[in-house]
Each structure stands twice: as C-alpha cells, then as structure tokens.
Amino acid sequence: MISLDDFGAGCLKTDSLSLFNFDMIKIDRSIVNGIGTDPSKLERMQKLLHVLIPLGVNIICEGVEKAADLNKLKRYLPIFIQGYIFYRPLTLNQLKLLENF
C-alpha cells in the first residue's frame, strides 16, 4: 500500500499524481481548515476533491476541528475525516484505560 501524507502542503501538483499509484492520499490540514467559512478555501478544496475522487484512492482530510468544515466535507462521501472535532488526542494513561489495549 502506498500513501501520500500532507498533500497540498508541498510542491507536488495534482498533475503529478498520475505518475504514482497511490492507495491513499491524506489532504493537509492547511487546505481543510477554514473551508466552512472561507469561500476561496472551499473552492480550492472542491477542485482538489474533483481531481482526487475519480482516481479511486482513499482520501483522508486531516485537521477537521470545526462543525462548519465537517458539514462542507459531508457531501464528498466516501472520504475519511480526521480531526479534533471527534476527539482530542489521548495520553498514554488514558489510552491504557481503553478495552483490549
């Protein structure tokens, strides 16, 4: 399995994605954060998703922290969403309290 992390944060362009056979692409939080309130960020995100979805790769949007951002992403299912909107990171002691850890 080949994954690309932090897509959008560096210099790799969408045109270059066809050179690789990625299984998963994780979109950087700098692209995702604010799409619920900033029309220009939302437009950039929409353009990116319209390129990535037809590739058939698993897409993860990282850094989702606000309900407004999550609501904009809901229309693009099936994508994966990662962020504090669901839960803050756990300490090791908190993690040990989980069943079967």
Interval 78-100: pLDDT, tens: 899 999 888 888 888 888 887 66
pLDDT recorded at residue 100? 66
Q: Which CATH number fits domain 3-96: 3.50.50.60, 3.40.50.10490, 3.40.50.1000, 3.20.20.450?
A: 3.20.20.450
Task: Count other C-beta atoms under 10 Å from residue 55's C-beta.
Answer: 13
Contact 65, 95 (CB under 8 A): no
Q: For the residues 16-29, what does the mean pLDDT come to? A: 88
pLDDT digits (tens, 9 = 90+) for 43-90: 999 999 998 998 899 999 999 999 999 999 998 878 999 998 888 888
Domain ranges of the chain: 3-96
Give the model's confidence band at 101: pLDDT under 50 very low, under 70 low, under 90 confident, else very high: low
DSSP code of 59? E
Tell me 76's DSSP state. Answer: G
